[in-house]
Structure 1
Amino acid sequence: MPKEQGRKLVASNRRARHDYHLEDTYEAGLVLVGTEVKSLREGRASLVDGFVDIEEHEAWLHGVHIPEYTNGTWTNHSARRKRKLLLNRVEIDKIERKVSEKGFTIVPTALYFKDGRAKVEIALAKGKKTWDKRQSLAARQADREKEQALGRRLKGMD
């Protein structure tokens, strides 16, 4: 059987981009059991409540919901268990130093398969204030209106 190529997105956390300023992103492997992989291959996962915690120089993914595999038996996994992330020691140390600073947290932004292996993209993030959210919404609205006006002008409607 040929090996999978490319990147297949399973889940993305669009809410993280709305609630946080994303600083650095890292790609990490996941330690999963068989039924979790099968459930992910069906395209079922949710990153909404997920976060990463560093415990004893190891990165752990908490709160990510991977539902039980429908054809699984008694060997099925629990949906919200904590999962170990596979990162280099240098990356873990760098992340740990940043998180010890005030206001930084680690959030998962995407869950995908890359060349047949499950990966999660995590980001160092700083929480946005409500006025930051309003500013980003206003900037996005202004860009949308600018694109619409340019499109109307190109079509000769204006």
Structure 2
Amino acid sequence: MARKKKQDKGQGPKTIAQNRRARHDYHIEDTYEAGLVLTGTEVKSLRAGRASLVDGFAQIKNGEVWLHNVHIPEYTMGTWTNHAPRRPRKLLLHREEIAKLDAKTREAGRTLVPLSLYFRNGRAKVEIALARGKREYDKRHDIAEREAKREMERALRRRR
């Protein structure tokens, strides 16, 4: 008897959403990959490529990490079983990672922000970052550095 081939779920990560604003507003200190506890309609909506991480943040409560304010719109083909778009979602991390994050977020000025949402091996994952908020002058400094780098690259291209 011939064996059925297992359906390929795509080995590489398929990015659904990215939070570019987080890299602008925060100094990223460390990143973690966490699984998400989702309902069926949330997964279908994510597979359609619909999600927004803009106002999202993670919080640790009672030894569990929860993702808040991440918008996953209702599945268009869903019925009364559809999910609430901005409901808190539980993140799956190892106990040691949660303890480490809890200790670090208790320090002043540190928070957990989602950077990207993607599928890896058919499972929904979120990349969260331990981050420290930037001041306004830090943001201006980063923009000035980026502009200077672009100018140098342009000058080098013109010389060739």
CA deviations on 1:63-122 (whole Å, 9 max, x unpaired) are 000000000011000100000000000000000000011110000000000111100000
Structure 1 runs (4+) deviating above 2 angstroms are: 1-4
In structure 2, the residue matched to 1:77 is 83
Secondary structure at the aligned position of 2:148 is classed as helix
Give the Cα separation in 1 of the matches to 2:49 and 2:153: 33
In structure 2, the residue matched to 1:60 is 66
Pair 1:127-2:133 in alignment: yes
In structure 1, the residue matched to 2:116 is 110
In structure 1, the residue matched to 2:30 is 24
Give the Cα separation in 2 of the matches to 1:54 and 1:3: 31
TM-score (norm. length: structure 1): 0.96
Give the Cα separation in 1 of the matches to 2:15 and 2:8: 19
Give the Cα separation in 1 of the matches to 2:25 and 2:10: 34
Segments of structure 2 that go 5 or more residues without pairing to the other structure are: 1-6
Aligned residues between the structures: 154
Give the Cα separation in 2 of the matches to 1:65 and 1:16: 15
Q: How does 1:138-149 map to 2 (within 5 A)?
A: 138-149=144-155
Aligned residues: CA RMSD: 0.6
Residue identity over aligned pairs, in percent, reads: 68
Segments of structure 1 that go 5 or more residues without pairing to the other structure are: none
TM-score (norm. length: structure 2): 0.95
